[in-house]
């Protein structure tokens, strides 16, 4: 129960029930009624997981935790491009403490929905993180492969501390020996889009989060 509360699931129990009742290809007006603008998306999305309001509320809670934990410290937020753009923008603006920001781009996925297991650094940090308090900001942790690579890479640069915040986490990630200190939402093992998450570079700019209908990628 504590885990559910921490991940923000408990708060939306009523909404979950409503969404579970909806058929896989429910009417677009249902999605709109829940605050997600999917009017132009036809049947590509199958189920709304979190509305924009639910996402923003949860980020406010995470920011309050980060404020408390990093009070009096100089924190560097390291956003992982491209998916973390939304959470970085919203989280950083919800913080009361000062923070710096830097970005990395790494690649573990191709244009499909399966992890390739191959991690490449496409863009490295501009900051020397030695002695800094680093908080990695991720969009989603799925298998955890990308994150465990990133963590060992960053740890070798001797930061004062190194923690991870992710907007979303899938159950597979729980098997990895990588500790994620702040989790927005634990979600099912389905491919999701919105709030920075893409399918083939689309849907990142949805303000809520939804599952992608299998017919889109099968």
Label each residue of 76-93 as H, E or C.
Answer: EEEEEECCCHHHHHHHHH
User: Which of 5, 56, 26 has its CA nearest to residue 211?
Assistant: 26
Evaluate whether 167 touches 147 at the Cβ level (below 8 Å): no
Q: Which does 193 bind (CB under 5 to 8 A by kind): ligand XMP, Mg ion, none?
A: ligand XMP
Size of the site for ligand XMP (CB under 6 A): 19
Near ligand XMP in 138-177, by CB under 6 A: 139-147
Stretch that binds ligand XMP, among 26-34, 68-76, 120-128, 133-141 (CB under 6 A): 133-141
Binding mask 172-201 for Mg ion (x = CB under 5 A): --------------------------x---
CA-to-CA distance for 136 and 154, rounded, in angstroms? 10
Q: Which does 56 bind (CB under 5 to 8 A by kind): ligand XMP, Mg ion, none?
A: none
First-residue to last-residue Cα distance in the chain: 36
CB of 200 to ligand XMP, least distance (A): 9
Q: Nearest 5°: phi and psi at 57?
A: -60, -45
Q: Name the token pair of 66.
A: 């980060």
Near Mg ion in 130-169, by CB under 5 A: none
CB of 73 to ligand XMP, least distance (A): 26
Evaluate whether 100 touches 87 at the Cβ level (below 8 Å): no
CB of 141 to Mg ion, least distance (A): 12
200 as an active site residue: the answer is no
Please list the residues that pair with 99 across neighbouring strands: 75
3-state secondary structure of 51: coil
User: Using CB under 6 A as the criterion, which residues of the chain lie in contact with ligand XMP when the complex forms?
Assistant: 83, 108-109, 115, 139-147, 191-193, 197-199
What residues are labeled active site?
Answer: 142
């Amino acid at each position: 129960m504590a885990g559910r509360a921490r991940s923000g699931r408990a708060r939306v129990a009523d909404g979950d029930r409503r969404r579970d009742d909806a058929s896989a290809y429910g009417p677009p007006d249902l999605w709109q009624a829940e605050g997600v603008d999917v009017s132009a998306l036809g049947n590509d999305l199958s189920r709304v997981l979190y509305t924009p309001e639910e996402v923003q509320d949860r980020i406010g809670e995470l920011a309050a935790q980060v404020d408390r934990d990093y009070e009096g410290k100089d924190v560097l937020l390291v956003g992982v491009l491209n998916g973390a753009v939304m959470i970085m923008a919203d989280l950083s603006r919800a913080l009361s403490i000062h923070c710096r920001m830097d970005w990395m781009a790494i690649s573990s996925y191709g244009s499909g929905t399966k992890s390739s297991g191959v991690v490449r650094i496409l863009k490295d940090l501009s900051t020397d993180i030695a002695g800094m308090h680093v908080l990695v900001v991720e969009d989603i942790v799925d298998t955890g492969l990308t994150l465990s690579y990133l963590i060992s890479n960053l740890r070798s640069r001797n930061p004062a501390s190194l923690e991870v915040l992710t907007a979303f986490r899938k159950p597979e990630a729980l098997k990895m020996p990588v500790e994620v200190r702040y989790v927005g939402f634990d979600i099912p093992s389905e491919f999701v889009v919105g709030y920075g998450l893409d399918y083939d570079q689309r849907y990142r700019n949805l303000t809520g989060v939804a599952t992608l209908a299998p017919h889109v990628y099968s």
